[in-house]
Chains A and B, each alone.
Chain A
């Protein structure tokens, strides 16, 4: 059980790091869209960031599930 909790928190830690590390990408997208006079919804950006988080979290969790004994 503690393996599941640890894996989850580690997965979250990796996802948090990826979220902030990818902020230059979001900034570049916003600036490029503004140059092209395209409107960007902040809400849509948030949803995309959260979906990326879910994906990173899922991949990390699957990777850690074995080593941390979740599948035992």
Chain B
């Protein structure tokens, strides 16, 4: 095996052994599972960039030099073909999508197969630390490997095979990368959204623009970061943006529109169809964090006198992009919810069966003004796939589906974790997480060090260093307890809802806090007295 980093900068020698330049890049033909190296690019005399055919002119190569078959004057220049990519220029140090592991990675080096003496093929991209070290200097990689082995943690290569790579800098998007290539286009919208969120901001719009309307709409609904989704939407032209909004479920579209500024939102809504526009405007009328905001108005309903056959007929007539149907709802002439029939009931019953015989009439419903979290908890509690949202007069307004409830739960959980001082971002804890964790857990220690240093400098020798250290000896206790006091607050905050009648009162909380402060402060003073007596007992400088 040989790496691109080992070839770059090597001298290129002609058949007479004369140096004609230094290797600057390699071209590959992209339409293969393991692409062949097709061109050699090198810097000729006077830094002239030259490209020649690998097959025609390269005789041998290793990590020290490249030997050509011909003398310098016989070389014929070639040009990059439409299906060719330059490894150093287009792939090295660039972000790529690992379509197998569904993540964004940076290419630190490229691994080539040199099993044949003349033919060189690209195996994949090295995305781990070894690639970086090798690129800096091969000796660094060797030292790191030896050290890692000594400490029992071998440093594995992290290679992504070419057929699992997708380039995100889509200047090359017209290049078909591989015959069996899996690209972003084949991935699930949730994975596409994850990948776009992890990209450099400048690349996000570029990649997003490559998706078709349906993919954009699906991916947009999956973004965790609403502000980023709105920003991406801003990068589209207005017709595209409004078409994408029309493709989205009304609840997702409403959430996105609420992130836009008023003028932009109005403009996009006006470009949409009347029906979609009305559905989104209706949802936007409800307060944030209420069931009304996350419900969808796309509900499968039939009259309360309908039969199974009527319901099936209605389902067949729904648009392809209609919200996933889990239940069929029965409504009376005034639009009031009269019952609900699960899909299974329709499948196993005879067509002429009246739905009223199958329907559950003892319904669990939500009001559009109910808190989202309470609705999500009820969906989990009653094992529902969707919960109907009804107005005060019993009219069916929409449904909150289990996937939206899960999103609410996930957001609440992430928020609680953040308040509790943890990190809701799994990736962050994966990359360099130990160091961040160490810093977070020991902030008190760094603050203590700073105070001691500032104290020693500020007194300028007026007070001896030993006295400064003694004066600061109790500070860690105060710092750790300050951290604990915040935990006391955050625990209370997470456990008690201020609107809950049974929750402890603010007066009680304040009183308990004061008591704790007095008790722990007194304990600290007692400790001071005990230490002074023990350390300075019998000392002439004692108190």
Contact = CB atoms under 8 A, between A and B. Distances in A.
B463 A42 contact: no
Contact of A1 (B475, B479, B509, B541): B541
Contacts of B468: 4
27 contacts: A1-B466, A1-B467, A2-B536, A4-B471, A5-B535, A8-B528, A9-B473, A9-B525, A13-B474, A16-B477, A17-B520, A19-B482, A23-B510, A27-B492, A31-B498, A41-B419, A42-B487, A46-B421, A50-B443, A50-B444, A53-B478, A53-B479, A54-B479, A57-B478, A70-B463, A70-B467, A70-B471
Interface in A10-55: 10-24, 26-27, 30-31, 37, 39-43, 45-47, 49-54
Nearest to B481: A16
Nearest to B484: A19
B489 interface: yes
Given A2-B541, A2-B542, A5-B532, A30 B493 contact: yes
B478 A42 contact: no
Contacts of B475: 8, 11-12, 53-54, 57
B288 A5 contact: no
Contacts of B493: 27, 30-31
B428 interface: no
A12 B520 CA distance: 10
B527 interface: yes
A42 B419 contact: yes
A16 B377 CA distance: 38
A30 B419 contact: yes
Contact of B490 (A2, A8, A42, A51): A42
Interface of A: 1-24, 26-27, 30-31, 37, 39-43, 45-47, 49-54, 57-58, 61, 65, 70-71
Given A11-B471, A46-B443, 8 more contacts: A4-B463, A5-B528, A17-B518, A17-B521, A19-B481, A31-B498, A50-B443, A54-B451
A21 B419 CA distance: 20
Nearest to B539: A2
B516 to A, nearest CB: 5
Given A20-B517, A46-B443, A71 B470 contact: no
B482 A50 contact: yes
Contacts of A26: 485-486, 489
B56 interface: no
Contacts of A71: 462-463
Contacts of A19: 478, 481-482, 485, 517
A43 to B, nearest CB: 5
Q: Interface size class for chain B?
A: 35 or more
A49 B482 contact: yes
A10 to B, nearest CB: 7
Contacts of B482: 15-16, 19, 46, 49-50, 52-53
Contacts, number: 181
A46 B490 CA distance: 10
B264 interface: no
A3 B464 CA distance: 13
A34 B447 CA distance: 29
Nearest to B467: A4
B100 interface: no
A9 B528 contact: yes
Contacts of B288: 37
B471 A21 contact: no
A18 B517 contact: yes
Given A5-B473, A27-B509, A50 B535 contact: no
Top 5 A-B residue pairs of the complex, sorted by shortest distance between their CB atoms: A9-B528, A20-B517, A42-B421, A12-B474, A13-B521
A7 B520 CA distance: 17
Contacts of A15: 478, 482
Interface in B405-460: 415, 418-422, 440, 443-444, 447, 451
Given A2-B535, A54-B479, A30 B489 contact: yes
B152 interface: no
Contact of A5 (B419, B470, B486, B509): B470
A39 B102 CA distance: 28
A15 to B, nearest CB: 4
Interface string B2-30: 00000000000000000000000000000
Contacts of B542: 2
B521 A46 contact: no
Contact of A46 (B451, B478, B483, B517): B483
Given A1-B536, A26-B489, A30-B493, A11 B470 contact: no
Contacts of A7: 471
Contacts of A3: 543
B418 to A, nearest CB: 5
A49 B524 CA distance: 18
A58 B478 CA distance: 12
Contacts of A22: 485
Nearest to B531: A5
A37 B412 CA distance: 11
A17 B514 CA distance: 7
B77 interface: no
B543 to A, nearest CB: 5
A9 to B, nearest CB: 3
A70 B467 CA distance: 8
Which of B468, B483, B514, B541 has most A Cβ within 10 Å?
B483
A72 to B, nearest CB: 10
B536 A49 contact: no
Contacts of B421: 41-43, 45-46
